[in-house]
Structure 1
Amino acid sequence: MITLATSVFGIVLCKGEIIKTSVHGPTGKISYKDEGFGGMPVVFVHSFGGNVSHWDGIKDSLVQNRRVVRIELRGHGDSEFPKDGDYRISSMAKDLATVVNLLGLQRFVLVGHSMGGSVALQYAGENPSRVAGLVLVDSNGDPKKNPEEIRTQIKNVLFSDAYVETTETYWKQLLERSKPEVQERLFEELVRAPKDMVIKITSELLDYDPTLSLKRYVGPKLAIVTPENDDKFSLHRLQLGFPHKVIQNAGHWLQLDQPEAFREILETFLQRY
């Protein structure tokens, strides 16, 4: 294995193919994987508490004929925690921008899961001409459809002695329909997330308004959701709406619970590129 590092970014090469890289982002190192060649590139963004491994089962077939980039947002995976403690969606979209700019990706399909869907949507709204297609995986709808007092109550609980009980209950709820091995894996990852990061990201997601980005980005969109995320406040039903697919018998991490069904839906969407 050959290792190359510069003042700008580090690259790990294996048999001539880039498999692990990092770049200095706005507030620290941002890690990502860059694999495959040819075709319209696909860029993946993970959920809260996630990392590039959440896309392992999906990218394997894609890298046979197209470039696949998987990004780890600030505070996740091998990326550094932000020195300024900034976890705003708009700021994490800058992490994404840093990577795709470095790689010279002028146009690509963007896939974001949950929190990563909000980040992907934010980027697409700011850079609509560069996003050839947008796939939002079980992402948050419009949280402001919920009363402000409810959102405030949730934030207050996170600052209380009930923090551990509240967060663990929430993680278990998201994983309730997942396979046992996915439940075990994800719960271990989620409970390791620093309290400060959990509070800041949760508060941000409770206030994030997706409507402006939905207006700005008019390119092809697809939502892949669980049945629980197919209601009147879901992203794919806001404003004029856009196509969606529902995957049954899966928890919030659809791509881990039902990888074959997820891959089939995604590859059908990618056939236009």
Structure 2
Amino acid sequence: MITLATSTFGIILCKGDILSKSVQGPSGKIFFKDEGNGNLPIVFVHSFAGNASHWEEAKNFLAQKRRVIRIELRGHGDSESPKDTDYRISSMAKDIAAVVDSLRLPKFVLVGHSMGGSVALQYAGENPDRVAGLVLVDTNGDPREVPETIRNQIKEALNSSAYRETVDGYWDQLLAHSFPKVKRRILEDLHKAPKEAVIRITSELLDYDPNPSLKRYMGPKLAIVISENEDKFSLHRLQGGFPFHLVREAGHWLYMDQPLEFNHTLETFLKKL
């Protein structure tokens, strides 16, 4: 049974011990889940077409002794889509700000996957004193290492009759090494993503330069990646590099494929803060 209650964060949907709250972000309501207790909160940011439920196993592990906050960025999960279709990385970083500011968190650890990693990095670069630690999970490196002509070809394909073929080919590549159960779940979420959001977010990621934020955020960092994301252009190789952990036998959603290894790696990082 679901009960309703009002709060300073809007509507709280209560089902068991799961709380879903919302705040007014710059482009509409931003929903998030806030569970567990601890002095240093862990804030999770999902990938493109993801939602708070993607972090369920990590939450179950951490919330036993830590406070866990799972944000749903604009146009994802229960959060409202931007009426102006603004999916810039810098704009989505303001969704994080809306939540952590409303909760009055002076300092917290930020964990972001893929697109959410870019958004988390952008926030950390703009607010380095608020972020006690930054964990980037299989996040893109510097896309400018891919020739501009190729990046433009991808954008053109997304805006053509080859849209579906282009999208399916890309996601098949990302999910090539995912476990069947994970692959089915992710594809179900991906197929729900609006075409315009897919085009705009993909185009944004193809041009996003992570280097300025990497320069500004000098705090503790860790990358958790799969084998395909371990080369000289990977994020953890930029700006002099920073520590990384390689998860084998996993796809892009590595924290779903190998939750025990991911949780152990994350907990080891957190204990050092």
Return the TM-score normalized by structure 1.
0.97
CA separation of 1:173 and 1:218: change in aligned 2, threshold 3 A:
same
Structure 1: distance between partners of 2:10 and 2:85: 22
Structure 1: distance between partners of 2:186 and 2:91: 25
Partner residue, 2:152: 152
The letter for the 1-side match of 2:4 is T
Structure 2: distance between partners of 1:146 and 1:213: 20
The letter for the 2-side match of 1:161 is S
Percent identity over the alignment?
64
The letter for the 1-side match of 2:63 is V
What secondary structure is seen at the aligned counterpart in 2 of 1:238? helix
Q: How far did 1:83 drift?
A: 1.3
Partner residue, 1:41: 41
Partner residue, 1:85: 85
Matched, 1:224 2:228: no
Q: How does 1:167-178 map to 2 (within 5 A)?
A: 167-178=167-178
The letter for the 2-side match of 1:26 is P
Partner residue, 1:73: 73
Any gaps of 5 or more consecutive residues in structure 2? Answer: none
4+ residue segments displaced more than 6 Å: none
Structure 2: distance between partners of 1:14 and 1:158: 39
Q: How does 1:152-231 map to 2 (within 5 A)?
A: 152-231=152-231
The letter for the 1-side match of 2:85 is G
Structure 2: distance between partners of 1:188 and 1:60: 23
The letter for the 1-side match of 2:5 is L
Any gaps of 5 or more consecutive residues in structure 1? Answer: none
The letter for the 1-side match of 2:62 is L
The answer on whether the counterparts of 1:39 and 1:65 sit within 8 Å (CA) in structure 2 is no
Q: How far did 1:14 drift?
A: 5.8
Structure 2: distance between partners of 1:250 and 1:49: 19
Q: How far did 1:191 drift?
A: 1.6
Partner residue, 2:13: 12
RMSD: 1.3
Q: How far did 1:5 drift?
A: 2.6
Structure 1: distance between partners of 2:188 and 2:122: 29
The answer on whether the counterparts of 2:9 and 2:21 sit within 8 Å (CA) in structure 1 is no
Aligned length: 272
Partner residue, 2:96: 96
Structure 2: distance between partners of 1:13 and 1:25: 22
The answer on whether the counterparts of 1:3 and 1:12 sit within 8 Å (CA) in structure 2 is yes
Structure 1: distance between partners of 2:54 and 2:18: 19
The letter for the 1-side match of 2:131 is V
The answer on whether the counterparts of 1:11 and 1:18 sit within 8 Å (CA) in structure 2 is no
Q: How far did 1:209 drift?
A: 0.6
CA separation of 1:187 and 1:269: change in aligned 2, threshold 3 A:
same
What secondary structure is seen at the aligned counterpart in 1 of 2:245? strand
